[in-house]
Amino acid sequence: MVSFIRSYKWPVLLLIASLCAAGTAGGAGKSYRISLSVTGLVPGAGIVLVNNGTEELSVAGNGSHTFKNPQEDGSAYEIAIRQQPDSLRCMVTGGSGTVKGADIKNVSVTCPMAYRNSLVWMRCTNGQVWNAARGDCTGTGKPGSFGAVQVRFCGTNDNACNGGSDAGDLSSGEAFEACSKLNRGSGTYGLTSWRLPSKDELASLVVCTDGTAVPLRDYGSDPYKCGWKGKNYSNGGWKSPALDNGLFPNSLSLEYWSGSPNGKNRSSAWYTAFQNGWTHTAVKSGRSYVRCVAGPQ
């Protein structure tokens, strides 16, 4: 009986070792899900994401989304944007790493920039901060302005801030600095070409809720802007501010500087009034809001 047990000792040990190895291999083969949160999309805007350049995930709304195929423990993942929305520019945070024994839940996608007329626009007014958790401009400040700051086009009513030429490019001053500061270091949101929009670029953002065509003509050539006649704000069903409030949340129904000086009067520069869609001029030492733009791209 003793010899029988001894004769099977090594086969039994080999069998136990094989079972242990199989158990270890089974643990290494576990797989986990990759989920991400999406904020800042507007109705009708969709985005296509990709993991490791192969598996796509089409997203049509904000919230939590998960890639269909689980990923093996110990493997690398890299989430990127394969196709941007038509009207937005989005970015991924926490998109690369290694699966380490748990589902991946710290990847986020948010859309702090708008895309119109081949230009990339800051969705927030200068002074506001994009709130990635909410997907809007409520990151700082009090309700009503959320930190938006009014600045002067120039400290003096002359051509000192626009290259010494009445129609020269803006090259200094508070309004210039509001956008140029975004280009310092590696830039903001991956771009280093932020600037004030030109008069016509800024006016192209006007959207009238009564269906009036955009961009509207300058003040003086057409006194009826966005359905506004005299002081009757209700004509035409127009509401303020006169732009796409989904693309530009928490915008102010007030004047925004363009980067275009008035070449016919060195003391003034062009702005767009988003109370009513007017494009007009004001003295350079006056204060207005700023929305920065990059491009075209």
Q: In the CATH hierarchy, which fold is given to the domain comprising 31-112?
A: Immunoglobulin-like (2.60.40)
d(CA 241, CA 229): 16
Amino acid at 160: A
Would you say 204 and 117 are in contact if contact means Cβ atoms under 8 Å apart? yes
Amino acid at 171: S
d(CA 81, CA 48): 6
Give the start-to-end residue ranges of the domains of the chain: 31-112, 117-297
Q: Which spans in 129-238 are helix H?
A: 174-180, 199-203
Amino acid at 69: N
Secondary structure letter of residue 181 according to DSSP: G
For residue 160, list its beta bridge partners: none
d(CA 152, CA 284): 6
Report CA 226 to chain centroid distance, whole Å.
Answer: 27
Full pLDDT tens readout for the chain, 297 residues? 444 334 444 444 444 444 444 444 444 579 999 999 999 999 999 999 999 999 999 999 999 999 999 999 999 999 999 999 999 999 999 999 999 999 999 999 999 999 998 999 999 999 999 999 999 999 988 888 999 999 999 999 999 999 999 999 999 999 999 999 999 999 999 999 999 999 999 999 998 876 666 777 787 666 567 766 555 555 445 677 888 999 999 999 999 999 999 999 999 999 999 988 889 999 999 999 999 999 987
d(CA 137, CA 146): 7
